[in-house]
Structures are given as C-alpha cells and as structure tokens.
Structure 1
Amino acid sequence: MAQSPEMRASDVDRDKVAAVLREHTAEGRITMDEFNERLEQLYKSRTYGELARLTADLPDVDLRNRPAKITPQPVAKSTGMHPGMKAAWSAWAGASAINWVIWLIVSFTAEHFIYPWPLWVMGPWGAILLVSTIFGSGPQEKK
C-alpha cells in the first residue's frame, strides 16, 4: 500500500528521518542549527507529508548501503627511519647546537681559546645514535 502524504507517521518513521538528517549533518549538507531546527519539527510532525518536507531539499540517502570510509594509507618516507629515531637525532642536533653557541659565547668573552667541551656532549651521544640507526630495527609495520 502506497503511503499518502495525509497518512499518519509512526515513531519508527520519525527515527528513520532523524537518521537521514544525522547523515546529512555528518556529510556537511546541513549545519547543526539547521539539524536542530529540523529535528524539532520532526518530532512535531504527524503525517508522511510533514516528514517529507523536512528532507525535500536533500538528496536521498541509503542508510543500509553507506560507502565504506576510506582511510588514507601513510606515505612511505624516503629515509625509512623510525619516527622515534628521527626525534632522537633532532634532540641531539638541538642540544649540540645550544652547547656550541654557549661555547662560542664563552670563548669570545674570555678572549682566549677554551677547550671545545661540546665534543664530549656530542660524541658519545652521537655514537650511540649512529650505532642504533645502523644496527637498529627499521620502521615497524602495523598489522
């Protein structure tokens, strides 16, 4: 039996229209304010005709066969280095640069040569990072 616009709608019919409105809101076709206004009208509606007016300006949505969400695949980095290792090298470079700046400032203000002590900070730390980079495991793939 065809549904005429004057026929009374049920709570199940209203829930279906509410789901369609939620989907259109999620897809950005209607704003939250519009959604709230239409939802308010939805639960005041009594007939199929009143329900149809709430979605008349929106395309049909098949809630049973929604397209699967596509998750973007991460792009492989050219270095192939683990992000944690990149962070460790960045920390080493930053700390080394700060130590060299301090050494330069102290050397210029002392007006004589000061032993390059930043080498003792850079050397062991850099050697450990280098060995970890060369012999450590590569990037781990998520399964």
Structure 2
Amino acid sequence: MANSPEMRASDGDRDRVAAILREHTAQGRITMDEFNERLENLYKSKTYGELAKLTADLPDVDLRHLPVKASAAQKPSQQGMHSGLRAAWSAWAAASGINWVIWLIVSVTAGDLIYPWPLWVMGPWGVILLVSTVFGNNQPKRT
C-alpha cells in the first residue's frame, strides 16, 4: 500500500527524515539554521505530506550506502593508537610533568637535590600503560 500524503507518520518515519536532514547538513546543502528550522518543523509534522515538504528541495539520499570517510576506510592497524589509550598517555605525561616541576621547585628552594619521588608516581603508571600499549588491543570496543 502506497503512503498517501494524508497518512499519519510514525516516530520512526520522523527519525529517518531527521537522519536525511543531518546528512544534507553534513554535505553542505543546508545551513545549521535551516537544519534547526526544518528539525523543529519535522517534530511538529503529523503526516507523510508534511514530512515530504521538508525534503522536497533536496536530492534523494540513500542512508544505507553513504560514502565511507577516508579515516574509517583505513585498516585499524593503520589508524594508530586508540584514542582512549592516547588520552591515558597524555594524562600520564601531564601528571609526570607537573610532579617533576614540583620536585624541581622544592629542590631549588631547599638548596639541595632531594630524593626523586616523581619516579614512584610515573614509574608504575607508565609500566601499566606500556604493557597495555604493547600487548593490549588498540581497537575501540564495538557495541
């Protein structure tokens, strides 16, 4: 049975049109202001005819066959380190740097080099990160 313009649309229909509008926005066919205006009208729409008006001036988009972005097309081994692991290394480097600066300030103000306690902060944490980097799976978990 063909969908007539007077037939009531479902939430799923509105979600599909929202995805189409997002894709057209990403491709630069409509501005963010136009997208927000159309999205507002989308969720006020009740019939297929009202939904069709929102995309009437846009070409058809097959959401199942969108072009793959270059970074997603790369093999996981070529993508480098997982972003979570990269963030963990960044946190380790920042904390280690801060601890060494504190150690240096205390040593200078004391007039003598004190015990290098930052090694106890960065050592175990760094070893765990190193083992995770070398032996861990650098792939993001898929749900």
Cα distance change of structure 1 residues 132 and 72 upon mapping to structure 2, 3 Å threshold: same
Q: Which residue in 1 is equivalent to 2:90?
A: 90
Unaligned runs of 5+ in 1: 1-10, 13-21, 37-54
Q: Which residue in 1 is equivalent to 2:117?
A: 117
**Number of residue pairs matched by the alignment:** 103
Distance (whole Å) between structure 2 residues aligned to residue 100 and residue 141 of structure 1: 34
Counting only pairs closer than 5 Å after superposition, residues 46-65 of structure 1 correspond to structure 2 as 61=57
Deviations 1:123-143, CA, capped at 9 Å, x for gaps: 111111111111111314748
AA at the equivalent of 1:73: K
Deviations 1:32-83, CA, capped at 9 Å, x for gaps: 49xx8xxxxxxxxxxxxxxxxxx9xxxx658xx8222436536148562222
Distance (whole Å) between structure 2 residues aligned to residue 79 and residue 61 of structure 1: 38
Distance (whole Å) between structure 1 residues aligned to residue 95 and residue 67 of structure 2: 37
Counting only pairs closer than 5 Å after superposition, residues 103-142 of structure 1 correspond to structure 2 as 103-140=103-140, 142=142
Distance (whole Å) between structure 2 residues aligned to residue 141 and residue 72 of structure 1: 20
Cα distance change of structure 1 residues 88 and 72 upon mapping to structure 2, 3 Å threshold: same
1:80–1:139: 8 Å Cα contact kept in structure 2? no
Residue 66 of structure 1, aligned match among 56, 60, 81: 60
Deviations 1:80-104, CA, capped at 9 Å, x for gaps: 2222111111111010000001001
The residue matched to 1:66 in structure 2 has which SS? coil
Larger Rg: 1
Unaligned runs of 5+ in 2: 7-16, 25-29, 42-52
The residue matched to 1:116 in structure 2 has which SS? coil
Identity of aligned residues (%): 49
Give the TM-score normalised by structure 2: 0.52
Distance (whole Å) between structure 2 residues aligned to residue 133 and residue 121 of structure 1: 19
